Structure 1
Amino acid sequence: MTTLTHDPAPTPSDARPSRKGPRFGGPVWLVWRQHRAAFWTLLALTLLTALAMVYLRGQLTDHLAASPQKSLPPDIEKYTNRLYSVGNYLGYAPILVGVLIGAPLIAGDLESGTVKLVAAQSVSRLRWLTTKLAMPAALIALSTTALGAVLTWWWNPIRNRTDNLGWASGGFDVTGIMPAAYALLTFTVGAAIGMLLRRTLVSMVVTLGTVVAIGYIWDQFRLNLGHVLSVTTDKGVGPDARRPELPAGALELDPSTSFLTDSGARLDWTTCLDKMENIRAHTSCLESKHVIGYAADYLPASQMQPMQWLGAAVMLTATAAVVTFIIVWGRKRLL
């Protein structure tokens, strides 16, 4: 007689072994599933851009090391132009984040009816809204912070030795903490607009206009974050008179130098402008108004980082206000 042996029948736990590692569930899984293409694209672009900047910085430092002179090599412009171009491209990141990620975030769910499906589940609106905002915001903050740090690292070897990527214009918004704060603001603004308009394409168009308007206002406001310093002369005016000398890297707020009187008052550069055709008449006119020299206002380069932190605080405060609006409005009027 032959005895047959059989393995014991598999139990449910044997048939479906438990997975190891973290697993998404609930709203987290839903948000990741909905936007995984955008999330992976964002992470891939961040990685590729960061690697490209690391490579270009290596070329820059190698070129500087090969130059025996302490001053910048004559052909350094080729390398600094690359830095300037990449900085300009990164300046568009807040617009792209607001339009392509922020605007469709909630508007897409409202337009497709996904919100009604979520509301029918046991998940509260507060939890869904919080997850919906937190996941993209975390990835945006991670990506923009990384890019800002790498660009700052690339810029540092020539930071105080060239005017390319000037600190008060091109470099201010794309280095340090500013890229993350700026992108988070435009992202939440786009999400709020999408929630109100409830149509994806319309929300993207309106977000584009709103973000451009925010950028314009920010450009006008940014320099007010610094503490203005002044430099004056008191040796007269005229073609041979000494003009105010600014520290290296300083930003002159008004390129048209104003005039300084013996009482310490300032006169606009248009003073005696009608006498400009005759140098002697122009000088005599200024002397009759007790002008003794020139005056110039400027912001030193050392104020860049404090201004960035203050500007980031302003933007993050505005971001928090927009997030509060989204949650309050969404909990009551989302459906």
Structure 2
Amino acid sequence: MSTTLTGIPAARTARPRMLRGLTWLVLRQHRTTLFCILALVVLGSLWIVYQRAQLTDALTAAGWPEKTVPQPVVGGAYSQLTSLLGLLPVALAVLFGAPLIAADQEQGTAQLVSTQSVTRRRWVAAKLGWCLLITLVACSALSAVFTWWWRPHRSVLPDVWMDTSVFDATGPVLPALALFLTAVGFTVGILVRRVLASMVITLVACVAAKVAWSVLRVHLVAPRTLTFPLDAEFPSRLDDAYEVDRWVASADGQLYGWGSCAEATEKATNACVEKLGLVDNVHEFFEYDQMAAMQWTGAGVLLAGTAVLTAFALWWASRRSL
């Protein structure tokens, strides 16, 4: 046992072997943030479990699935939950990622650490590693619990599977998106070196990234096409599909816009159809069985972006004075 300068034995703090040294220091520095995120995961998971139980009771009372139930059968809590899950990646990026290194740069902690026995790269790597690990665990847990609720009841919930509120909150997308936006946050923080400015810029960057992601989603896999006669009933296959585009087609396969013969009277419409020789409806769409492929492909893109930003942050930190 070590002693102090006064000769009084100093108490040795016991801690797990894996949390010693730099790892323990980083975790201790961010313990408040860690506890807040863990509390958010626990409370959020309990909320989801409670809402699922309420939904199950309501469906059972209504005789589902033997009987059809009207949509939606859930109250405002469902919309609040999906909105919060959608905001979670942005909140982690702004409140956790952006200040991660920027706060140390602004307060001078970064300069102090660089005078110790660890290199800047090792110190930054430890902080980024814990940041990404916490983000991954938290968002994976919430995504798993929400997916467990949504998947068996998707036909009676108000949002369809391709809506942002569902697509970005289920499967691998939520953790992958959170990791990418958090990486955007700490990269901005390292470059800007000021907490408030980093948080503002990160918020703007996250909004832009979310817009770009919403555009990219429909290009992750190839859509399918279905052709059926102009006067036929609407195929049930398209009831749960996400429509990309639709046309009307002539016998020779020439495509025209859906409203090409939207005339004022039925007689004029029939004349237009006859003139153009229209015989078929053509729909381009995504089906539910493509959702998993779209999500995992998108998650791969986001994780690749996370890796690039993390590598850049480490490279910048090792070559620039923090």
Under a length normalisation based on structure 1, what TM-score does the superposition of the two structures give? 0.87
What CA distance in whole angstroms lies between the structure 2 residues aligned with 1:117 and 1:183? Answer: 30
The offset of 1:26, in angstroms, is 3.0
Structure 1 residues 80 and 250: CA distance shift in structure 2, 3 A = farther
Report percent identity of matched pairs: 36
Q: How many residues align?
A: 315
Aligned 1:183-198 pairs, distance under 5 A: 183-198=178-193
- In structure 1, how many angstroms separate the alpha carbons of the residues matched to 2:236 and 2:58? 31
Q: Which amino acid letter does the alignment assign opposite residue 254 of structure 2?
A: A
Question: Paired residue for 2:265, among 262, 278, 283?
Answer: 278
- Contact map agreement 2:69 2:156 (CA 8 A) in 1: no
Cα distance change of structure 1 residues 230 and 163 upon mapping to structure 2, 3 Å threshold = farther
Per-residue displacement from partner, 1:137-184 (whole Å, max 9, x unpaired)? 11111110000000011112312x235232111211001111110000
Q: Is the 8 A contact 2:55 2:74 kept in 1?
A: yes
Correspondent of 2:219 among 210, 224, 234: 224
Structure 1: stretches of 5+ with no match in the other structure: 1-9
The match for 2:160 among 162, 166, 177 is 166
TM-superposition CA deviations, 1:234-287 (whole Å, max 9, x none): 3x46xxx64454344211113xx31111112311124245xx112212221232
1: CA distance, partners of 2:72 / 2:256: 38
Offset of residue 16 of structure 1: 6.0
Question: 1:258 touches 1:269 (CA, 8 Å); kept in 2?
Answer: yes
Counterpart check, 1:259 vs 2:248? yes
Please say if residues 243 and 294 of structure 1, whose CA atoms lie closer than 8 Å, have aligned partners that are also in contact. Answer: no
How far off is 1:44 after superposition?
Answer: 0.6
Contact 1:50 1:150 survives alignment (8 Å): yes
Question: Structure 1's 15 and 330: CA in aligned 2 closer, same or farther, altered over 3 A?
Answer: closer
CA RMSD, aligned part only? 2.3
Q: Distance in 2 between the 1:68 and 1:162 partners?
A: 13
In the alignment, residue 135 of structure 1 is paired with which amino acid? Answer: W
2:226 is paired with a residue whose SS is strand
Q: Distance in 2 between matches of 1:39 and 1:113?
A: 22
Letter in 1 for 2:45: A
Please point out which of 67, 89, 92 is paired with 1:71: 67
CA deviations over 1:29-55 (Å, ceiling 9, x no partner): 332232221111111111111111111
Question: Which range moved further: 16-25 or 204-213?
Answer: 16-25
Q: Structure 2 unaligned segments of length 5 or more: list them.
A: none
Question: Is residue 262 of structure 2 the alignment partner of residue 268 of structure 1?
Answer: no
Whether the 8 Å CA contact 2:223–2:286 is kept in 1: the answer is yes
Quick one: distance in 2 between partners of 1:93 and 1:205? 16
Q: Is the 8 A contact 2:95 2:199 kept in 1?
A: yes
What SS does the aligned partner of 1:175 have? coil
Task: Give 1:167's aligned amino acid.
Answer: W
Which residue identity lines up with residue 67 of structure 2 in the other structure?
S
Counterparts in 2 of 1:81 and 1:153: CA distance versus 1, 3 Å: farther
Greater C-alpha radius of gyration = 1
| Alignment match, 2:135 | 140
Q: Secondary structure at the match of 1:293?
A: strand
